[in-house]
Structure 1
Amino acid sequence: MGGGFDCASAEELYLVRATCGVDFDYATRIIFAHPCKSVSHIKQFREAGVQMTVVDNEDELKKLKEHWPEAKVLLRLKPDDKGSLSPFSTKFGANELECITLLRLARQLGVQLVGCSFHVGSRCLDAQIYMQSLRQARRLFDIAGRDEFGFDFKVLDIGGGFSGHNWDKPSFPEVAKLINKKLDKLFPESEGITLMSEPGRYFASGGMTLVVRIIARRIHNQDYKSQEEVIKLERSFSLPTNSLVQVANTDQSTVSEQVLIECAENIYYINDGIYGTFNAIIFDHKVFTVHYLKIGEQENNPEQHKSVIFGPTCDSIDCIAHSIDLPLLDIGDVLWFPDVGAYTSACASDFNGFKTKNTFLFGRVRCCVLKINKLAIVLK
């Protein structure tokens, strides 16, 4: 495939080294893509033979001059990423004026700038952000080549942010088609530009299904309702219209979680939660779709009850769903959640001592080939 690795830390570099061994081409197939790096990590990437990294500020250029002077460096641009569910531009990226300052400083320091990068944020749902960012990159390529700076940019990293689901709009194939068309126009093959992308979410999202068990339950939950006055919580949440997680009040912005929980008929406790896989509800704005499997006798068209799902920890914030329709389920029954491959287990903890996951691999080679073919759309 000619693929490589975008590493954000020395720990990720160690993982690549442990997986790929000593014969891997670390010089050309790894980029240290974090714009703000600790000196100890810089030294470890340099010692491993990695050549390329990213900057977005003046101090980072000076740091590279001192600790990694031979590095090949990309300038990270600051896109308008308000159309992404997880925007990054408040933390990383330089606008055009600041990039010009960095070009001038790199020339003075003798730092080797070879191109630019951008990231439109994770789960970008506005394809025009990619178009704007590509135009921004083209402009910086042209500015860098002026006599004042004298850089010959040959590398463009278009980042990631691609959805892992084709039901998202725009879908990955739709975005890839637009990107390729714009790349052909702005960065023709005759220029010999090396293109990179980071489609990690696209590969990972659909590759895992979470299966959990109901370890406890509380039926006729309304009998346990508190007699104290309910205080409206500041924390609010929103859900897409096609989600199985439906709230009991149409005024979603003012619904109190405590009201939803106390009005539910049944509460189920499962062996994974917010501190585990479901951390993505908080950190990745993910909406999980729940399915159930009864271990005992199945019932056709069972009656549905407003239900709450809690995780296993001692913390009341460990609530996965505040009000969804489920049949009456038993301890030992199974809930399963598809599409949990991205930004779930990687961010999980063992809070309260709950080490909740075992991983089992199922797959077909043909499926992998199809995914690889789709990746080629982006990487050209």
Structure 2
Amino acid sequence: MYAVKANPSPELIRILWDNGITHYDVASIAEVRLVARTLPDATLCFMHPVKAEEAIAEAYFTHGVRTFSLDSMEELEKIQRATRHASDLTLCVRLRVSSEYSKLSLASKFGVSPQEAKELLFAARQAADALGICFHVGSQAMTPDAYAEAMERVRAAIVEAAVTVDVIDVGGGFPSAYPGMTPPPLERYFETIHRAFESLPISYSAELWAEPGRALCAEYSSLVVRVEKRRGSELYINDGAYGALFDAAHVGWRFPVALLREPESTVRDHGFSFYGPTCDDIDHMAGPFELPADIRTGDYIEIGMLGAYGCAMRTAFNGFGSDETVVAADEPMVSLYTVVERADDVGVASNVVKL
């Protein structure tokens, strides 16, 4: 199940569909409409735990959405009212779990506490055709232990509530590779999750779901920017914090960079910071971004791994921004999806796990 919020590009959504992704995690009625319009046969799951009642009603009656997430009795009652107490719902109760192993925490805003989970699970079981438990370990989880510990919380909740659970949804958080962040192979995450799932007190027919966003789209696109000015180790570029570089500015994310110049520079790299084009001082990306020390005004830079939360975060603040897109066939600047040659299975991605 692809988390649309990471990159809502219709072109990307079609590519994922063509490669076997049939279910989509949508978090707003706008995302519901987008995917329904782009892929009429897709299965949509409304996984935001707090939704407008009219959004739930439109999703259910107009777009055929049957799966909803919740983390409170209030939301459960809202879903029941909006769907007129439908009997064909899959309701996924979101548990609050730790984000200590992730680069970006998602531990405080959503999720029912362990103390309140029993009552909510029991009530949701009465209202649902299928009952699920979901969680989110935070964005860019750097170890499979994040999922192992979250699954232990799932186990405790099931035992305490004594309910039959039909779906376990491990959410997102699957990482990508960035400068200074090299996570373990994805295979280790899958093995850890599958092992924990197999040991849960659930029915034999229970389904295991996941909601990857970043891991499916980070490598999808790069951003090409132009240097408008150089001031020592500071480069003024024509995109920034209010454009596709939100994460670089506001959470200190470092992205791979390359100078696009012919002939290539032979000068050794130097650490630079970036300023974006707006009038705002916080339009600043500290980096450091390693580029040849002779970079100058007029040069172009490729900033890679911006398929996740790049275009999705853009604004038109101060009148800056561009929607120009060029399709390129080159490989991503960094990838977790390397191909290994094996005698028994030639050309298999190294992160693929056979269960």
Common fold, TM-score beyond 0.5?
Answer: yes
Amino acid at match of 1:15: L
Shift of 1:104: 4.3
Indicate if the aligned counterparts of 1:106 and 1:113 stay in contact, CA closer than 8 A.
no
For residue 107 of structure 2, give the secondary structure of its aligned residue in structure 1. coil
Shift of 1:278: 0.9
Distance 1:183 1:96 in 2: 19
Distance 2:271 2:253 in 1: 21
Residues 1:200 and 2:213 aligned together: yes
Residues 1:345 and 2:311 aligned together: yes
With structure 1 as the length reference, what TM-score do the two structures score?
Answer: 0.74
Shift of 1:181: 2.3
Indicate if the aligned counterparts of 2:175 and 2:214 stay in contact, CA closer than 8 A.
yes
Shift of 1:185: 3.0
Structure 1: runs of 5+ lacking an equivalent = 222-264
More helix by share: 1
Residues 1:155 and 2:173 aligned together: no
Hey, what does 1:13 align to over in structure 2? 32
Indicate if the aligned counterparts of 1:56 and 1:92 stay in contact, CA closer than 8 A.
yes
Q: In structure 2, do the counterparts of structure 1 residues 334 and 2 end up closer, same or farther at CA, with 3 Å as the change threshold? A: closer
Residues 1:177 and 2:196 aligned together: no
With structure 2 as the length reference, what TM-score do the two structures score?
Answer: 0.79
Indicate if the aligned counterparts of 1:187 and 1:193 stay in contact, CA closer than 8 A.
no
Amino acid at match of 1:201: R
| Matched positions, count | 318
Q: 2:223 aligns with which of 197, 203, 210?
A: 210
Q: In structure 2, do the counterparts of structure 1 residues 79 and 317 end up closer, same or farther at CA, with 3 Å as the change threshold? A: same
- Within a 5 Å distance, the mapping from 1:256-295 to structure 2 comes to 265=232, 267-295=234-262
Identity %: 28
Shift of 1:14: 0.8
The runs of 4+ residues in structure 1 deviating greater than 6 Å are 367-376
Shift of 1:156: 1.1
Distance 1:175 1:89 in 2: 20
Shift of 1:348: 1.1
Shift of 1:80: 1.7
Shift of 1:139: 3.3
Q: In structure 2, do the counterparts of structure 1 residues 363 and 185 end up closer, same or farther at CA, with 3 Å as the change threshold? A: farther
For residue 49 of structure 2, give the secondary structure of its aligned residue in structure 1. coil
What are the Cα deviations for residues 245-285 of structure 1, in whole angstroms up to 9, with x where unaligned? xxxxxxxxxxxxxxxxxxxx254322111111111124554
Distance 1:136 1:307 in 2: 43
Amino acid at match of 2:168: L
Distance 2:264 2:80 in 1: 67
Q: 2:121 aligns with which of 103, 114, 123?
A: 103
Q: In structure 2, do the counterparts of structure 1 residues 328 and 99 end up closer, same or farther at CA, with 3 Å as the change threshold? A: same
Hey, what does 1:228 align to over in structure 2? none
For residue 156 of structure 1, give the secondary structure of its aligned residue in structure 2. strand
Q: In structure 2, do the counterparts of structure 1 residues 294 and 111 end up closer, same or farther at CA, with 3 Å as the change threshold? A: closer
Shift of 1:375: 8.1
Hey, what does 1:65 align to over in structure 2? 80
- Within a 5 Å distance, the mapping from 1:35-184 to structure 2 comes to 35-47=49-61, 48-68=63-83, 69-70=85-86, 71-106=89-124, 110=127, 112=129, 114-144=131-161, 146=162, 151-165=163-177, 168-184=182-198
Distance 1:373 1:266 in 2: 39
Shift of 1:306: 6.5
Alignment root-mean-square deviation, CA = 3.2
For residue 332 of structure 1, give the secondary structure of its aligned residue in structure 2. coil
What are the Cα deviations for residues 296-352 of structure 1, in whole angstroms up to 9, with x where unaligned? x655336x6665432111222222247666423333211112211111110111111
For residue 191 of structure 1, give the secondary structure of its aligned residue in structure 2. coil
Distance 2:157 2:270 in 1: 57
Hey, what does 1:246 align to over in structure 2? none
Which is further off, 323-332 or 342-351?
Answer: 323-332
User: Which structure is richer in relative contact order (CA contacts within 8 A, separation 6 or more)?
Assistant: 2
Hey, what does 2:6 align to over in structure 1? none
Distance 1:111 1:324 in 2: 50
Shift of 1:2: 5.8
Shift of 1:103: 3.2
Structure 2: runs of 5+ lacking an equivalent = 1-19, 340-346
Shift of 1:112: 4.9
Residues 1:330 and 2:296 aligned together: yes
Amino acid at match of 2:25: D
Q: 2:283 aligns with which of 295, 305, 318?
A: 318
